[in-house]
């Protein structure tokens, strides 16, 4: 039965190829979209993950860096440093703004640190410095390249002219990028006086991050200390949430497209060879045998489509950073499995219509010419 | 001798009311193991319908069909399919081989349906085809085989799972006379050497030589003698 099913399926190789591509397209749609959101979510947390801080301290009730506003006094560092297990605390301001380059606006998340901060600056500097002094800005290198900015160029940040003194990698994402300025400039731009948004904390060697966070919370009740992992997780969720509905809609759309493509293909394959199935029924093939045959056909089509789709997504993943500035595409194993599950369900469902059709078929066709 | 296949007052009506056709009308027939029963009669007399009723491909409107001591008319669809694949071998006028499969694969497939493992099925299929003189045609697709070869593959397929009953509808109608004689010989052999109950429906007069019994049909009924106008006897042997 396996051989018969495969030979019937491959009788029309063009149809098999087109079906495979159809399913592959649906798979690429599902995987790539998820991959892009996941890539974007990873980029959102890249600063948190690379800052070198063990803890982040926010205002009480604030659990995120994105989509949240945290305001803390600018002089908390000494108090934080008295908490057991704390090595160093660095104030940091963080806000989104537009910078103007050659008349076009770019969304930038500004990270403002004291010029002497021992950590927290750009982590992959390709030119100049990783930390800004007053009047300076560190930009994403690909953003600078795109606009022919180099060390020494000047850009406008909310009306304030800053000189580019550093360029760094891994700062841009699909729709925005990170840039570094000095804490003093940030306070002046915002008119916020001596405040900070967060404190970055390094803990003593061997100390336990959650334990130190707890000791800070006890000492300074009006703050919310979080481990870097906690904050990262919480920001990543925000990034993903923005895409969840779109992803769900696309997963459903991809599912329906895949089902239609495989279902129609298997059905027409079967209907074109109806007499062959009449013969099978006459010589004693039961409903189970027939279902087995159709399941084999539709699963092979669906899985071939899945395999091709995964390969295409993989190629796309390698190409995407070159196609769109700052865009990245992740292939998550868990989502791959989920999509595989979806494809297997497609394969199972697509076998049903031909099965019902052939179940109704009168085996008496074998007596006619 | 043992009654292998029994039809008991079987009637088949197609359609309803004015357009209904009584294709088989109150037929009773018993076929013994080891005998060849030849069913003859004019076109439209109900021969194929009778064969389909015996082979569980049709359900009678009234009456009962037995395989040995078991009534098969009460079996469900699955039970009837199981009976067809284990106890009944079919041979058709139009060969009805699966066109995507080679000669050997066609035979293997029916063995596979009965649950035989692959290597066993392959060996059996090659053996049966070899006995029928097709040892050199095992890997040929039906499309490149002659009519006679295709029908011999069909005979092999019918015999492979060692069924108790062989039902053949016009098995020689599409064959040249030499192939026709060959197939007739195989059917006689199936009954007389292998002990199968063989029912052949045909217009082909040559088959009377292998028949142990001839049953004449007219208008859905079994009649004691050839229809008086002698149509059957005067018909050309080959079409
Ligand atoms: N599915 C069906 N629906 C309606 N009428 C049918 C059907 N099958 C057969 N008949 C009718 O039943 C009668 C017997 O048909 P059957 O095919 O059994 O005859 P036959 O003896 O095999 O004829 P032939 O020698 O031409 O093959 C015919 O009148 C035929 O038209
Ligand atoms: Mg007929």
pLDDT digits (tens, 9 = 90+) for A192-234: 889 999 999 999 999 999 999 999 999 999 999 999 999 999 9
User: Is residue B43 in contact with ligand 1, taking CB distance under 6 Å?
Assistant: yes
Please report, rounded to a whole number, the percentage of residues in chain B having pLDDT higher than 70.
94
Q: What is the CA radius of gyration of chain B?
A: 18
Nearest to A283 by CA among B84, B199, B117, B17: B84
User: Is residue B46 in contact with ligand 1, taking CB distance under 6 Å?
Assistant: yes
Which among B48, B81, B105 has the least Cβ separation from residue A285? Answer: B81
Residue A36 backbone dihedrals phi, psi, to 5 degrees: -70, -45
Tell me which chain B residues have a C-beta less than 8 angstroms from the C-beta of A367.
Answer: 48, 52, 92-93, 169
Banded model confidence at residue B228, pLDDT cuts 50, 70, 90? low
pLDDT value of residue B221: 96
Does residue A241 carry a pLDDT above 80? no
Q: What is the CA radius of gyration of chain A?
A: 29
What is the DSSP-derived secondary structure letter of residue B99? T
Atom number of ligand 1 nearest to Cα B12: 12
A34 sits in which H/E element: helix A13-44
pLDDT value of residue B86: 96
The reported pTM is 0.80
Q: Which tokens go with A324?
A: 């769109």
Atom number of ligand 1 nearest to Cα B217: 21
Nearest to B96 by CA among B50, B142, B47: B142
- A204 and A87 in contact (C-beta within 8 Å)? yes
User: Is residue B179 in contact with ligand 1, taking CB distance under 6 Å?
Assistant: no
Tell me which chain A residues have a C-beta less than 8 angstroms from the C-beta of B88.
Answer: 284
pLDDT value of residue B1: 57
Determine whether the interchain pair A366/B92 forms a contact, defined as Cβ–Cβ distance below 8 Å. yes
Determine whether the interchain pair A4/B98 forms a contact, defined as Cβ–Cβ distance below 8 Å. yes
Rounded to an integer, the average pLDDT of A319-329 is 79
- Distance between CA atoms of residues B148 and B181, nearest Å: 10
Does residue B238 carry a pLDDT above 60? no
Number of H-type helices and E-type strands within chain B: 7, 10
Tell me which chain B residues have a C-beta less than 8 angstroms from the C-beta of A276.
Answer: 98-100
Distance of CA A267 to CAs A260, A298, A353, B26, Å? 10, 9, 7, 41
pLDDT value of residue A237: 85
Atom number of ligand 1 nearest to Cα B46: 18
Residue B132 backbone dihedrals phi, psi, to 5 degrees: -90, 15
Residues with Cβ within 8 Å of residue A113, at least 6 apart in sequence:
A90, A91, A92, A120, A121, A131, A132, A180, A182, A183
ipTM for the predicted complex comes to 0.93
Banded model confidence at residue A301, pLDDT cuts 50, 70, 90? very high
pLDDT value of residue B227: 63
List the 94-123 stretch of B: residues with Cβ below 8 A of A. Answer: 94, 96-101, 105, 109-110, 112-114
pLDDT value of residue A247: 76
Determine whether the interchain pair A1/B113 forms a contact, defined as Cβ–Cβ distance below 8 Å. yes
Mean pLDDT lowest among A99-108, A153-162, B42-51? A99-108
Task: Find the closest chain B residue to A288 by CA distance.
Answer: B78
Determine whether the interchain pair A284/B96 forms a contact, defined as Cβ–Cβ distance below 8 Å. no
Rounded to the nearest angstrom, the distance between the alpha carbon of A209 and the centre of ligand 1 is 88
Ligand nearest the Cα atom of residue B23: 1
What is the DSSP-derived secondary structure letter of residue B24? E
The three-class DSSP label of residue A58 is strand
Nearest to B167 by CA among B143, B190, B147, B139: B190
Q: DSSP letter string over A189-238?
A: HHT--SEESEEEEEEPTT--HHHHHHHHHHH-TTEEEEEHHHHHHHHHHH
Rounded to an integer, the average pLDDT of B88-103 is 96
- Distance between CA atoms of residues A36 and A26, nearest Å: 15
Determine whether the interchain pair B48/A11 forms a contact, defined as Cβ–Cβ distance below 8 Å. no
Query: Which residue's entry shows tokens 């798979």?
Result: A27
- A296 and A6 in contact (C-beta within 8 Å)? yes
pLDDT value of residue A41: 78
Kindly report, residue by residue over B13-25, the tens digit of the pLDDT.
999 988 999 999 9
pLDDT value of residue A33: 84
How far is C-alpha B3 from the geometric centre of its chain's CA atoms? 17
């Amino acid at each position: 039965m396996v051989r018969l099913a495969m030979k019937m399926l491959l009788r029309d190789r063009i149809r098999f190829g087109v079906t495979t591509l159809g399913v592959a397209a649906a798979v690429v749609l599902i995987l790539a979209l998820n991959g892009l959101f996941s890539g974007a979510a990873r980029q959102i947390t890249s600063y948190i993950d690379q800052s070198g801080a063990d803890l982040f301290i926010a205002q009480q009730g604030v659990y995120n860096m994105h989509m949240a506003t945290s305001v803390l006094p600018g002089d908390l560092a000494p108090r934080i440093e008295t908490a057991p297990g704390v090595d160093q605390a660095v104030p940091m301001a963080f806000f989104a703004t537009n910078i103007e380059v050659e008349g076009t606006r770019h969304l930038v998340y500004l990270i403002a640190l004291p010029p002497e901060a021992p950590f927290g600056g750009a982590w992959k500097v390709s030119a100049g410095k990783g930390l800004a002094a007053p009047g300076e800005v560190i930009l994403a290198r690909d953003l600078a390249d795109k606009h022919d900015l180099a060390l020494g160029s000047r850009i406008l940040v909310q009306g304030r002219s800053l000189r580019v003194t550093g360029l760094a990698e891994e700062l841009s994402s699909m729709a925005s990028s990170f840039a570094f300025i000095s804490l003093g400039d940030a306070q002046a731009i915002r008119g916020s006086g001596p405040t900070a948004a967060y404190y970055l904390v390094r803990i003593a060697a061997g100390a336990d991050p959650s334990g130190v966070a707890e000791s800070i919370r006890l000492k300074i009740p009006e703050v919310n200390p979080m481990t870097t992992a906690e904050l990262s997780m919480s920001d990543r969720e925000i990034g993903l949430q923005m895409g969840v509905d779109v992803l769900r809609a696309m997963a459903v759309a991809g599912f329906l497209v895949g089902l239609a493509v495989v279902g129609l293909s298997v059905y027409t394959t079967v209907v074109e060879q109806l007499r062959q199935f009449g013969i099978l029924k006459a010589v004693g093939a039961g409903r189970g045998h027939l279902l087995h045959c159709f399941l084999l056909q539709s699963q092979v089509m669906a899985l071939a489509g899945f395999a091709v789709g995964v390969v295409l997504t993989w190629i796309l993943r390698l190409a995407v950073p070159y196609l769109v500035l700052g865009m990245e595409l992740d292939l998550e194993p868990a989502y791959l499995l989920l999509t595989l599950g979806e494809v297997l369900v497609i394969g199972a469902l697509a076998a049903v219509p031909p099965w019902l059709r052939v179940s109704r078929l009168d085996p008496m066709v074998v007596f006619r010419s | 001798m043992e009654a292998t296949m029994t039809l008991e007052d079987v009637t088949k009506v197609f359609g309803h009311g004015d357009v209904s056709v009584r294709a088989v009308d109150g037929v009773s027939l018993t076929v013994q193991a080891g005998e060849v029963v030849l069913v003859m009669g004019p076109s439209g007399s109900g021969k194929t319908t009778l064969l389909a009723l015996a082979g569980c491909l049709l359900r009678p409107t009234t009456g009962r069909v037995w395989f040995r001591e078991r009534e098969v008319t009460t079996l469900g669809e699955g039970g009837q399919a199981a009976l067809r694949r284990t106890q009944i071998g079919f041979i058709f006028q139009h060969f009805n081989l699966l066109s995507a499969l080679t000669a050997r694969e066609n035979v293997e497939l029916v063995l596979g349906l009965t649950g035989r493992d692959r290597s066993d099925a392959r060996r059996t299929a090659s053996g049966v085809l070899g006995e029928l003189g097709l040892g050199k045609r095992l890997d040929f697709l039906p499309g490149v085989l002659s009519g006679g070869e295709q029908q011999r593959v069909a005979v092999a397929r019918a015999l492979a799972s060692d069924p108790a009953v062989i039902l053949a509808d016009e098995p020689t109608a599409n064959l040249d006379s030499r192939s026709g004689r060959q197939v007739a010989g195989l059917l006689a052999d199936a009954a007389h050497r292998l002990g199968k109950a063989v029912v052949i429906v045909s217009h082909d007069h040559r088959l009377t030589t292998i028949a142990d019994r001839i049953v004449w049909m007219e208008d859905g009924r079994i009649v004691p003698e050839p229809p008086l106008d002698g149509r059957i006897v005067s018909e050309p042997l080959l079409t």
